[in-house]
């Protein structure tokens, strides 16, 4: 076999555009939400789509995803993960476009969407009917990814305020997993994990007995080498 020159070889390869699509989950009003934008394509007029953009010639794809997130929401320091690549040849009406889905979790209260035109909107995940492109499929895949993720890693904290009650934490888990959990066992689980710091503060402005407020123990998280005992319910 003869050896080849890399540049010569690559020059002959078929080329296609690559995009990133960000599935940005938030949590509010006891519901899992996702940040959507109205499609700017004729074909999908009025339909909702994920936040995406094309990847630039020399841009690392992860970087493109962070860029999209920054440009759309102003957020920079948040959790972001590659989930999966979607490549159906006709998934984009304008021609072949391969897209790479990223997931991110953010605290809605922290981000009063800087771009507050009505093109951008937090949607309840459970009530989305139709979406542009194959974005519904991507969203479902990312939701499943999140369900798995949240049971193996304490990523849920990224969706909550800095201070939160155990009830809020449990509501989050129930919303993401779509199941009800036993309150006592849930609290016990987190108690034994030692991941919560009791702030000795109470909830305020709640229409019932206030619960204690906690914050996430980041130090413990970092020290633990990220090997998590799964969170099984």
Q: Which residues bind DNA (CB under 7 A)?
A: 165-167, 182-185, 187-189, 192, 202, 206-212, 229-230, 232-233
Q: Which does 207 bind (CB under 5 to 8 A by kind): DNA, a second copy, none?
A: DNA
In angstroms, the CA 125 to CA 192 distance is: 31
**Displacement of CA 56 from its chain's centroid (Å):** 22
Considering the complex, state which of residue 131 and residue 196 has its C-beta at the smaller distance from DNA. Answer: 196
Q: Which of 138, 26, 143 is nearest to 79 (CA)?
A: 26
- Contact with a second copy (CB under 8 A): which of 30, 71, 88, 179? 88
Q: What is the dihedral of CA 98, 41, 124, 85, to 10 degrees?
A: 0
For the CB of residue 51, give the shortest distance to DNA in the complex, in Å: 33
For the CB of residue 89, give the shortest distance to a second copy in the complex, in Å: 5
Q: Write b or e for each residue in 117-148: b if 16 or more Cβ atoms lie within 10 A of its Cβ, otherwise e.
A: eeebebbebeebeebbbbbbebbebbbebbee
- Contact with a second copy (CB under 8 A): which of 35, 52, 68, 92? 92
Q: Which does 166 bind (CB under 5 to 8 A by kind): DNA, a second copy, none?
A: DNA
Residues 125 and 31 sit within 8 Å (Cβ to Cβ): yes
Position 121 contacts a second copy (CB under 8 A): no
Q: Phi and psi dihedrals of 137, rounded to 5?
A: -60, -45
For the CB of residue 86, give the shortest distance to a second copy in the complex, in Å: 9
Q: Which does 16 bind (CB under 5 to 8 A by kind): DNA, a second copy, none?
A: a second copy
In angstroms, the CA 36 to CA 220 distance is: 34
Q: Which does 43 bind (CB under 5 to 8 A by kind): DNA, a second copy, none?
A: a second copy
Please choose, out of 57-65, 70-78, 185-193, 213-221, the segment that lies near a second copy by the rule CB under 8 A: 57-65
Half-sphere CA count of 222, side-chain side, radius 13 A: 3
In angstroms, the CA 7 to CA 215 distance is: 53
Q: How many residues does the chain have?
A: 233
Considering the complex, state which of residue 57 and residue 204 has its C-beta at the smaller distance from DNA. Answer: 204
- Contact with a second copy (CB under 8 A): which of 98, 128, 155, 166? 98
Contact residues: a second copy, CB under 8 A: 1-11, 13-19, 38, 40-43, 45, 54-62, 82, 84-85, 87-89, 92-98, 100, 119, 230
């Amino acid at each position: 076999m003869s050896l080849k020159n890399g540049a010569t070889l690559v020059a002959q390869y078929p080329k296609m555009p690559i995009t990133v699509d960000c599935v940005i989950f938030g949590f509010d009003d006891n519901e899992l939400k996702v940040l959507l934008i109205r499609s700017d394509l004729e074909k999908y007029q009025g339909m909702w789509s994920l936040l995406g953009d094309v990847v630039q010639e020399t841009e690392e794809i992860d970087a493109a995803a962070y860029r999209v997130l920054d440009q759309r929401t102003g957020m920079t320091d948040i959790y972001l993960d590659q989930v999966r690549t979607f490549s159906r040849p006709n998934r984009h009406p304008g021609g072949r476009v391969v897209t790479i889905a990223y997931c991110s979790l953010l605290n809605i209260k922290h981000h009063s969407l800087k771009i507050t035109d009505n093109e951008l909107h937090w949607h309840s995940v459970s009530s989305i009917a139709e979406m542009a492109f194959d974005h519904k499929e991507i969203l479902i895949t990312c939701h499943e990814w999140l369900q798995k993720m949240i049971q193996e890693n304490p990523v849920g904290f990224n969706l909550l305020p800095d201070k939160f009650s155990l009830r809020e934490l449990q509501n989050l888990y129930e919303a993401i997993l779509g199941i009800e959990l036993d309150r006592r066992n849930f609290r016990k689980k987190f108690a034994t994990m030692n991941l919560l710091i009791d702030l000795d503060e109470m909830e305020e402005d709640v229409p019932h007995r206030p619960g204690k407020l906690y914050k996430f123990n980041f130090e413990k998280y970092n020290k633990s080498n990220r090997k998590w005992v799964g969170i099984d319910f």
